[in-house]
Structure formats: C-alpha cells, structure tokens
Amino acid sequence: MRNVWGDKIVLLALVGGLCLADYGLEVAPTAAAQRFTVLAAFNNEAVRDNETGLVWEKSPSSAALTWDEAHGSCMAKNISGKRAWRLPSSLELASLLDHSVAAPGPALPPDHPFRNVRSSYYWSATTDFNSPSSTWLGAFSEGNVGGDVKNGRYPAWCVRDPMKNADQY
C-alpha cells in the first residue's frame, strides 16, 4: 500500500474541484446535519450527500474484495428495488473524507448518518494512469487518498449518480 501526500493530494483536490463542477457536483460547505439526508425511498438504507447529490449506501459492506469483484458487487447491488449502483471515482470517494479526523478514524464528517464504515481503505473506480494495474483508494483511517494494485483486497462503498428530481429517488 502506498500513501499519496503533498503535491499529488493538492493536484487531486484541484482537479477534483474542476471535475466535480463539470458534473454539477460543486461542493459548498454545510453542517453535517444538513449535508446528509437518509432516503426513505431506499428503506432508509441509502444517504444523499446534499453537497454533491450523490447517493451512497448507508452501510457499506465490510467484505474484502479485489477491484474486479468490487465492481461486480456494486453493479449487482439492489437496495429497495433500486439498482444502478457503481464504484465511486476517487474524487467522489474523497468528497466524504474529513481530513480533520485523527487516525484511526473513520475520517468522516461529524454527525454523519453512515453505519459500519471501517477505518480502512475503500476501492474507487479510478485507475492510476501511471500504473494501469493499480487504482486509487480512499483511506478512511487517515483521511487521505492512496493507491494499490487491483488484486489487493478492500471493501467497496457503492454509490449512485445524482438525480435531478427528488421524485426519481
């Protein structure tokens, strides 16, 4: 496992801000109690991040999977009859990280509604362009982004894309 610090984190944050804005996912600071909404339409098993619009599993699986298995697990996910789950990009995963939370974490915003989040790494869908056999991971133990080979074993935290209308949930 290699951790990524310094200039790479700054670059990722800068690129992340641009990419999130390109997709209408601009992140504006809000209180944690206002930031997240537990969705009744998902039998209270999913959470909308009101900063990004993304819908996250409320309780990610703790199963240690390879990257390919994690992709398949998210694609097969069905929460309250709702499908279209996927692995998040590294930027989406990083949007949940709270860098002010000290190790051992989990490095999530205070008063978040998530359950069973491990203080570990979670897969992202983003391949490391310098090493196609590696991918980026969100480190919820340390509040940063790291990378590892795709045949490593980590849990997946599945996400759904933002919905334009609340009735689509």
Sign of CA dihedral 126, 59, 159, 108: negative
| Domain tally, the chain | 1
Query: Please, what is the Cα angle at 34 between 29 and 36, to 5 degrees?
Result: 95
Kindly give, in sequence order, each residue whose CB lies less than 8 Å from that of residue 57, ignoring residues fewer than 6 positions away.
45, 46, 47, 77, 79, 85, 157, 158, 159
* Whether residue 108 has pLDDT greater than 80: yes
Q: In which domain, by residue range, is 77 found?
A: 2-168
CATH number at residue 108: 3.10.100.10
The confidence score (pLDDT) of residue 95 equals 92
| Amino acid sitting at position 94 | A
Average pLDDT of the segment spanning 5-19: 38
Give me the percent of the chain exceeding a pLDDT of 90.
53
The confidence score (pLDDT) of residue 32 equals 53
Pairing of strands 46-49, 144-149: unpaired
* Whether residue 127 has pLDDT greater than 60: yes
Confidence label for 135 from pLDDT (cuts 50, 70 and 90): very high
Confidence label for 168 from pLDDT (cuts 50, 70 and 90): low
The confidence score (pLDDT) of residue 111 equals 85
Structure-block tokens of residue 41 = 């339409």
Whether the pTM exceeds 0.85: the reply is no
Average pLDDT of the segment spanning 62-80: 95
Model confidence pLDDT, tens digit, residues 20-69: 434 444 444 445 568 999 999 999 999 999 999 999 999 999 999 999 99
The confidence score (pLDDT) of residue 13 equals 40
Confidence label for 125 from pLDDT (cuts 50, 70 and 90): very high
Q: Which of 159, 140, 151 is nearest to 84 (CA)?
A: 159
Q: Which of 106, 116, 120, 124 is nearest to 70 (CA)?
A: 124
* Whether residue 165 has pLDDT greater than 80: no
